């Protein structure tokens, strides 16, 4: 599967799971999976089951940026957002397992990527929830993508924020 925006061909491996390999042998895995298990106790946050978690990983941490890999990643994310419709909601937990500082940097990078995605999805809005960490003075970041014309846009953002104050998960 390839398009003018997708610099590397990618392989769907299952529903919402994609894989591509770069010229330098870096393996990229991308997941855009329906995930409401964290919101089971809250009908509004479940959004009728139309909530997707975006995540990705690479096998080699390479400081040199591979723009073709970024373009491919953004292409996969964008086509999935477009295919899911205006009432879908997407969230992304920024990885900060190496450091909170790097987690914050990833959130800023995702802001830049969002501007590229938004060229194809002009009604999409991004919310960055900054959550105080239990150590240091840093923050964790959970990002949400929601269309401005979602019928419950304002309610959803408020409820999501409230859930972060109370208890995000009551599993």
Given the rule CB under 8 A, which residues bind other proteins? 2, 8-11, 13, 17, 19-21, 23, 27, 29, 31, 38, 55-57, 59, 93, 95-97, 111, 114, 118, 124-134, 140, 142, 148, 157, 161, 164-169
Cα 104 from Cα 130, distance rounded (Å)? 9
Looking at residue 48, the DSSP 8-state letter turns out to be G
Give min distance, CB of 1 to other proteins, in A. 8
Cα 150 from Cα 123, distance rounded (Å)? 9
Give min distance, CB of 84 to other proteins, in A. 18
User: Nearer to other proteins by C-beta: 23 or 62?
Assistant: 23
- Nearest 5°: the CA angle 171, 103, 40 is 15
User: Nearer to other proteins by C-beta: 46 or 164?
Assistant: 164
In sequence order, the 6+-apart residues with CB closer than 8 A to the CB of 107 are 94, 128, 141, 143
Give min distance, CB of 114 to other proteins, in A. 6
User: Nearer to other proteins by C-beta: 79 or 164?
Assistant: 164
Give min distance, CB of 77 to other proteins, in A. 15
- 148-to-9, 126, 168 alpha-carbon distances in Å: 32, 10, 23
User: Nearer to other proteins by C-beta: 82 or 93?
Assistant: 93
User: Nearer to other proteins by C-beta: 63 or 166?
Assistant: 166
Give min distance, CB of 157 to other proteins, in A. 7
Looking at residue 94, the DSSP 8-state letter turns out to be P
Total Cβ atoms within 10 A of residue 133? 13
* CA neighbor of 101 nearest in space, from 125, 127, 72, 136: 136
């Amino acid at each position: 599967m390839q398009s003018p925006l997708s610099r590397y061909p990618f392989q769907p491996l299952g529903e919402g799971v994609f894989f591509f390999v770069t010229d330098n042998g870096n393996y990229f895995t991308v997941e855009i999976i329906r995930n409401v298990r964290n919101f089971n106790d809250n009908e509004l946050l479940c959004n009728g089951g139309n909530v997707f978690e975006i995540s990705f990983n690479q096998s080699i941490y390479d400081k040199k940026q591979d723009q073709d890999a970024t373009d491919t990643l953004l292409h996969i994310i964008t086509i999935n957002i477009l295919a899911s419709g205006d009432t879908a909601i997407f969230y992304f937990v920024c990885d900060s397992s190496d450091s909170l500082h790097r987690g914050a940097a990833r959130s800023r990078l995702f802001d830049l990527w969002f501007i590229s995605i938004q060229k194809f999805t002009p009604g999409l809005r991004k919310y960055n929830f900054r959550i105080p960490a239990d150590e240091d003075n840093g923050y964790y970041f959970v990002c949400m993508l929601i269309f401005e014309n979602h019928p419950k846009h304002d309610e959803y953002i408020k409820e999501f924020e409230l859930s972060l104050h109370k208890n995000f998960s009551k599993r």
